[in-house]
Amino acid sequence: MASAAESFTPLLLISSLLVASWFCATEAKSTVPVVQGLSWTFYQSSCPKVESIIRKQLEKVFKKEIGQAAGLLRLHFHDCFVQGCDGSVLLDGSASGPSEQDAPPNLTLRARAFEIIDDLRERVHKECGRVVSCSDILAIAARDSVYLSGGPDYDVPLGRRDGLNFATRNATLDNLLPPFANADTILSSLAAKTFDPTDVVALSGGHTIGISHCSSFTDRLYPTQDPTMDKTFANNLKGICPASDSNSTTVLDIRSPNNFDNKYYVDLMNRQGLFTSDQDLYTNKKTRGIVTSFAANQSLFFEKFVVAMIKMSQLSVLTGKQGEIRSSCSVRNSGSSYLESVVEEGFEALSELI
Ligand code: HEM
């Protein structure tokens, strides 16, 4: 029979985890200002079930394939960094030109992530009509991806509107840095978006889940091996990617690729970061101390990650009467959006009667 102490330990662990995630959520709420037009309770009367619909569905999706969590988290990051969190990355190309999706940094976004967002959009609009934006659905889905992979739970300010157009290829390239960028480049680029070094190191912790294609890091293996990379790690990577353009993939965090935890920072301290943009955070004196503090203290990482994510999720958002609420996440509404919503809601009411 288990001793009192043995049965007490898991209880203690669970309650301290709950306290830690509650602390994260409440502390973030009081430290990150909410931009005008967004609010913590935006859909309280118009679509009170939006968050539970998304969470329940993602629980099912991730049970089958946890990798999709990484795809959704990255999609939200790519949405927010280019032209703000306006769902522009979700738009397909049109006669006016190729979409953001066609720009190089977005070519490795998962096709399935776009499908999951469209499916969530359909479920949410079936319940509430066309009131929740695709950009909000993506922000909630990214939060749930973090939480359901073992990371912190937190509230997301809501009320974003969807953009009417996508960014150009050049704007996309300017805002999404390449994996060969060093820490100084990343720090100055992200400072322009109001992120401080702690935010930068915390956000990079998104690489605690997910995968990469060989082409994103083989510049560190061929023709010469990056001396900052652990030798055994490099040899293993060479086995996975025998040439610089090999088509394989590998995990971003070798210690726990599917768990949202602080092991990514332990990887960096062991010179097992996959990209230069990861490893240089440990090499650079300005960020090294932050990396070691997160490697030693997962709660601290979670707390700073939540703050940085809430900041990121509010970059240049459209609110109020700006933009629109898309009927389909991959195309902008055509014509009068008011007329469309009246027609759509009419159809929904009719189909319930039949
Ligand atoms: C300096 C900033 C960053 C750079 C240079 C960068 C670069 C990359 C690259 C090259 C990949 C792999 C693409 C591929 O070859 O398949 C990747 C994957 C990923 N990134 Fe980043 N990233 C950055 C910041 C972030 C941030 C801020 C987040 C989220 C908070 C994030 C989340 C992810 C995730 C989850 C994946 C895995 C995606 C999947 O498995 O489908 N990244 N990133």
Q: What is the DSSP string of 177-212?
A: --TT--HHHHHHHHHTTT--HHHHHHHHGGGGS-EE
Distance of CA 195 from the midpoint of ligand 1 (Å): 17
Specify if 15 maps to a domain: no
In which band, very low, low, confident or very high, does the pLDDT at 11 lie, cut at 50, 70 and 90?
Answer: very low
| One domain for residues 142 and 260 | no
Mutation to probe ligand 1, out of 72, 184, 207 (largest number of atoms < 8 A from CB): 207
User: Is 18 part of any domain?
Assistant: no
- Give the Cα separation of 213 and 333 in Å (integer): 34
Place of tokens 């609010």: 39
On whether both 160 and 208 belong to a single domain, the answer is: no
Over residues 135-179, the pLDDT tens digits come to: 999 999 999 999 999 999 999 999 999 999 999 999 999 999 999
**pTM given for the model:** 0.90
In the reported structure, the alpha carbon of residue 207 is separated from the centroid of ligand 1 by a whole-number distance in angstroms of: 6
319-329 confidence digits (pLDDT tens) = 999 999 999 99
User: Is any ligand 1 atom within 6 A of the Cβ of residue 179?
Assistant: yes
Dist. CA 86–CA 303, nearest whole Å = 25
Domain region containing 45: 36-176+324-354
Does 20 have pLDDT greater than 60? no
Residue 6 lies in a domain: no
Taking only the tens place, the pLDDT of each residue in 188-197 is: 999 999 999 9
Q: Are residues 300 and 215 in the same domain?
A: yes
Known binding residue 88? Answer is yes
Q: Is residue 5 part of a domain?
A: no
Please give the number of the atom of ligand 1 that sits closest to the Cα of 109. 41
CATH number at residue 119: 1.10.520.10
For 82-136, write each residue's pLDDT tens digit.
Answer: 999 999 999 998 767 788 999 999 999 999 999 999 999 999 999 999 999 999 9
Q: 347 and 289 in one domain? A: no
Q: Which of 287-296, 298-307, 342-351 has the lowest mean pLDDT?
A: 342-351
- Atom 35 of ligand 1: nearest residue by CA position: 70
The pLDDT of residue 22 is above 60: no
Centre of ligand 1 from the C-alpha of residue 214, in Å? 13
Q: How far is the CA of 82 from the centre of ligand 1 (A)?
A: 14
The DSSP code sequence of 238-303 is HHH-SSTT---EEES-SS-TTS-SSHHHHHHHTT--SSHHHHHHHHSHHHHHHHHHHHH-HHHHHH
- Ligand 1 near 74 CB (within 6 A): yes
Residue 174 annotated as lining a ligand binding site? no
At residue 94, the pLDDT reads 74
**Atom number, ligand 1, closest to the C-alpha of residue 305:** 30
Is there a domain that residue 120 lies in?
Answer: yes
Q: Check the annotation: does 119 bind a ligand.
A: no
> Are residue 214 and residue 295 in the same domain, yes or no?
yes
Same domain, 266 and 276: yes
Cα–ligand 1 centroid distance for 13 (angstroms): 31
The per-residue pLDDT for 23 is 52
Indicate whether 278 and 203 sit together in one domain: yes
Residue 171 and residue 59 share a domain: yes
Kindly state the percentage of the chain with pLDDT values over 70.
Answer: 86
In this structure, the answer to whether residues 329 and 308 fall within a common structural domain is no
pLDDT the model gives residue 21: 53
Pocket test for ligand 1, best of 62, 65, 66, 74 (most atoms within 8 A of CB): 74
Mark whether 186 and 109 lie in a shared domain. no
Q: How do residues 243-284 score in pLDDT, each as one tens digit?
A: 999 999 999 999 999 999 999 999 999 999 999 999 999 999
Chain-centroid distance, C-alpha 182: 21
More confident residue, 314 or 23: 314
Same-domain pairing of 250 and 118: no
Q: What is the CATH number of the domain that holds 211?
A: 1.10.420.10
Number of domains forming the structure of the chain = 2
Tell me, yes or no, whether 21 lies in a domain.
no
Closest C-alpha residue for ligand 1 atom 24? 204
Would residue 215 count as lying in a domain?
Answer: yes
- The verdict on 151 and 218 lying in the same domain is no
pLDDT tops 50 at residue 33:
yes
Residue 7: inside a domain, yes or no?
Answer: no
Q: State the Cα–Cα distance between residues 242 and 239, nearest whole angstrom.
A: 6
Question: Which residues on neighbouring strands pair with residue 97, listed in sequence order?
Answer: 94
Active-site amino acid positions? 78
Low-confidence winner among 5-14, 49-58, 198-207, 300-309 (lowest mean pLDDT): 5-14
Q: What is the mean pLDDT of residues 332-344?
A: 57
| Among candidate residues 58, 77, 96, the one with its CA nearest the CA of residue 331 | 96
Q: What was the pLDDT predicted at 341?
A: 46
Q: How far lies 268's CA from each of 53, 187, 276, in Å?
A: 37, 17, 10
Residue 2 pLDDT level (bands cut at 50, 70, 90): very low
What is the pLDDT of the chain when averaged over all its residues? 90
